[in-house]
Each structure stands twice: as C-alpha cells, then as structure tokens.
Amino acid sequence: MAKKSKVRTGQPALQLGRPVPQAASPEAAVLDRVPNPHADTHYVARFTAPEFTTLCPITGQPDFAHLVIDYVPDKYLVESKSLKIYLASFRNHGAFHEGCTVDIGKRLNALLKPKWLRIGGYWYPRGGIPIDVFWQVGTLPKGTWVPDQGVAPYRGRG
C-alpha cells in the first residue's frame, strides 16, 4: 500500500514541484525552508551562484557577481528552488554590491537561524575596481570542516 503524502496544515505550500512566477523584487520573493534531516550533525551546506545579477542603483547598468553561501544548519535547510527564485529577483533590483550581499545573508539568517552562516560576494569590476563583500554570523561549531570558497581574487589580464 502506498504511503499518503503528509499535508502541511497552517503553512503555505512549498514552491518545489510546481510552476512559480518570477518574483518582482527581493522583498516579494518567498524563501522556503524545510526540516533538516540531520539536525543532530554539524555539516556545511554550500550554494554557489556564479551568475548572480543585479542593477547599479545609480546608472541602472547590470552588475555581476559570483556568490558563495555556506552555512551549518540547525533545524532548517533553505529549499533550493526558492533560493534560486529569490536570487533571480535581484536582476531588476537596484542596489550596491555591499547591500545585495549582506541583505541575502541577513535574509537567510532570519529564515533559517543556522548555527553559522557566511556569504562571499565576488563582484566583477565596475569602473575598473572589483569589490568583494563578505558577511558572517554565528559561531562555527568546533571541528566542522569548511572548505575554502574557491573563488580566486580578480586578476584582470595580468
């Protein structure tokens, strides 16, 4: 006999497994969380967004970044489809590099309340100057292995 699906009462349905329209803005985007099946274990989950795009709030020109998000979950994990939709909502959003990077980190921290979270925003040059932005919250549990984010500093044509 097949198992019945669990019904999530009192909570909106996840975006996973159904068509979802693009969010008009980061504020309008919905981030979903799911229970961590290994909440008793310290481990790092990593999301990499090598083609993150937003707009300069002054010129309206596109800005591009390679984002790396690492976190040690507690009770919840971020659902990856909702994270993709959230990150894509920045494409028509005007904000400075620092604002985007830190806002993403703070939003994930508020949703997940992880044991530890860091985000590295490796921004491609604008006006000849690359800007890298790093934000971290929480305390990394002792003995937890965190690999290097693996993004080389910008070198230009050197």
Catalytic residues: 56, 63
Cβ within 8 Å of residue 111, ≥6 positions away: 31, 33, 76, 78
**Where would I find the beta strands (DSSP E) of the chain?**
33-35, 45-55, 62-72, 76-78, 116-123, 132-138
User: Under a CB-based contact definition with an 8 Å cutoff, are residues 95 and 104 in contact?
Assistant: no
Helix (H, G, I), strand (E, B) or coil at 151: coil
